């Protein structure tokens, strides 16, 4: 009797195309499909992640400035484009350094780069100090809020279009007080858009914000490394990076250490 009821339920779910929601709620390794992961192409980190970031899920790369978050994102995008996949980056405040992207190995002809307004660089230069322009004040009238809103709309349009191996949105320069104003339903819509797909969606944020049930949070910290024996010849050469991996379902929580070349912002 129970088997008959279960079969009827599964049939109804397939009819409504809801069966994929149930299967993609499971971690990729429990589905037995290695292709359901997006490798970050860092051997120690991929080993800890058991293959990479899960497709069909929302994951996060978090950390303070110069923690290596941009370096890791570019490395992941480079690995995807090298495999022949198409990637997309919603660059909320137009902060991507194209030279660094090319140096790490990103095939730029396979990257959709959506550029926002460079208001954070304007603020750093002292050219836009008015609260409404910087937009940390509450409400949609500020330039900051409008720029963030356009970036989130662009993210949803890209995810709905489909066909991307990895889609990332760079929110690293958004103050936490502003991030907390984003309705949580925003991330529910993102997850719904990628369920059952081959797309891994990644948020880059200063602190953990949102992930799906099968997604991962990678919290980074880094220590600068230097080359050269004498003070006059010392130069910055890269990072010793530590990653705290948090997953409620895949049991890969722990710390991972690795080194990376310098591509992160300052």
Give the contacts of 209 (CB within 8 A, at least 6 positions apart).
60, 62, 171, 179, 182, 187, 203
Copy the structure tokens of residue 109.
């002809």
The stretch 41-69 carries a mean pLDDT of 88
CA angle 73, 138, 153 (to 5 degrees): 45
Query: 116-120, 237-241, 250-254: which has the minimum mean pLDDT?
Result: 250-254
Confidence of residue 41 (pLDDT cuts 50, 70, 90): confident
Q: What is the pLDDT of residues 171-204, one digit of tens each?
A: 998 888 888 889 989 999 999 999 989 999 999 9
Phi, psi of 193 (to 5 degrees): -70, -25
Quickly tell me which residue has 């662009």 as its tokens.
154
Burial class (CB in 10 A: 0-12, 13-18, 19+), 174: buried
- C-alpha torsion angle, residues 62, 56, 261, 120 (rounded to 10): -50
Q: Between residues 159 and 127, which one has the greater pLDDT?
A: 159
Calculate the average pLDDT of the chain. Answer: 77
| H or E element at residue 236 | strand 235-246
Q: What is the pLDDT of residues 8-19, one digit of tens each?
A: 766 665 555 444
In angstroms, the Cα distances linking 27 to 22, 34, 58, 88, 107 are 11, 11, 12, 23, 29
Entry pTM: 0.74
Residue 115 and residue 108 in contact, taking contact as beta carbons nearer than 8 Å: no
How far apart, in whole angstroms, are the C-alpha atoms of residue 94 and residue 22? 37
Give the contacts of 257 (CB within 8 A, at least 6 positions apart).
44, 240, 241, 242, 243
The string of DSSP letters for 179-200 reads HTTS-THHHHHHHHHHTTSSPE
Instruction: Give me the domains of the chain, ranges plus CATH numbers.
Output: 37-261 (3.40.50.300)
Phi, psi of 124 (to 5 degrees): -65, -30
pLDDT value, residue 9: 64
């Amino acid at each position: 009797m129970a088997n008959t009821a279960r079969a009827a339920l599964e049939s109804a779910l397939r009819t409504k195309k809801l069966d994929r929601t149930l299967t993609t709620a499971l971690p990729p390794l429990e589905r037995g499909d290695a292709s359901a992961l997006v490798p970050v192409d860092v051997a120690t980190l991929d080993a800890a992640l058991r293959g990479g970031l899960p497709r069909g899920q929302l994951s996060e790369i978090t950390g303070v400035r110069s923690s290596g978050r941009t370096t890791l994102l570019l490395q992941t995008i480079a690995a995807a484009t090298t495999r022949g996949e198409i990637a997309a980056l919603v660059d909320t405040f137009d902060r991507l350094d194209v030279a660094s992207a090319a140096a790490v190995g990103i095939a730029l002809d396979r990257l959709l780069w959506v550029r926002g307004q460079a208001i954070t660089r304007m603020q750093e230069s002292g050219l836009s100090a008015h609260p409404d322009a910087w937009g940390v004040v509450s409400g949609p009238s500020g330039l900051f809020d409008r720029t963030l809103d356009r970036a989130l709309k662009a993210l949803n349009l890209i995810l709905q279009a489909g066909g991307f191996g990895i889609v990332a949105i760079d929110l690293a320069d958004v103050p936490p007080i502003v991030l907390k104003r984003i309705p949580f339903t925003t991330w529910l819509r993102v997850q719904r858009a990628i369920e059952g797909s081959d797309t891994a969606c990644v948020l880059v944020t200063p602190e953990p914000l949102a992930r799906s049930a099968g997604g991962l949070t990678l919290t980074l910290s880094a220590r600068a490394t230097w080359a050269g024996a004498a003070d006059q010849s010392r130069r910055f050469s890269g990072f010793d990076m530590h990653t705290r991996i948090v997953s409620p379902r895949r049991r890969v929580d722990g710390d991972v250490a690795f080194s990376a070349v310098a591509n992160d912002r300052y």
